[in-house]
Structure 1
Amino acid sequence: MLFHLDFHVEYGATMSQQDLFSTWTREAEAALGAKKAGVVVDLWKCAGERRVIAILDVDSHDTLDEIAFTLPIMIEMGQFVDIKVTALRRYEDFAATVTKLRES
């Protein structure tokens, strides 16, 4: 199952930028490891924003939840991270469904 995740990261008044960078370094290591393992299809950092976009390929909604709850950035500062999730469907599969429905 493919999912589009859009992370918006804020940080509290008591957190320094260096603390944010430390957390983000741990997050980057985990994210790049997940990409190497094939769970993360790809990642993008939005220039000029504290925003990251990821495409994940996982076996279930439950797995997605588990991953999202255990990310370093969520463990360390989850109250300041907003994640928008969109379930994705490969366009080829959609096209096949449309063709099948048209023929019925």
Structure 2
Amino acid sequence: MLFYVQMRWNHEGRISLDELWEIEREEAEHAQETLDSGFAVGLWKVAGQKRVIGIIDAPNAEELDRTALGRLPMREYLEFEQVWALRDYLGFAEDVKKAYKV
């Protein structure tokens, strides 16, 4: 199941920039692993903002939740602003053609 996730760094007043960069180095390694495994389809850092956007291919919402809350090195400092389940457009188009009838 594909998910759009939008995260914002929420570290101000909680850790120093040096500490942030150390955790972000761990996060970068984790990001590479998730991309290599196919769990993350793509990850993007928004230019000029403390924000990251990803397309995640998780088996279900529970697995996405486990990753977001338990596996990410930055989990304490990421605010998930948006999480949207994505549906394949062509599957939707087929349902439209059938007027949503079986």
| TM-score, L = length of structure 2 | 0.89
**What are the equivalent positions in structure 2 for 1:16-27 lying under 5 Å apart?**
16-27=16-27
Q: Is 1:54 aligned to 2:51, yes or no?
A: no
Moved over 3 A (4+): none
**What are the equivalent positions in structure 2 for 1:1-104 lying under 5 Å apart?**
1-69=1-69, 70-74=71-75, 78=76, 80-83=77-80, 84-101=82-99
Matched pairs, number: 100
Q: Distance in 1 between matches of 2:23 and 2:93?
A: 42
- The residue identity in structure 1 corresponding to 2:93 is A
More helix by share: 1
Gaps of 5+ in 1: none
Gaps of 5+ in 2: none
Q: Distance in 1 between matches of 2:54 and 2:100?
A: 34
| TM-score, L = length of structure 1 | 0.88
Q: Distance in 2 between matches of 1:96 and 1:37?
A: 30
- The residue identity in structure 1 corresponding to 2:85 is A
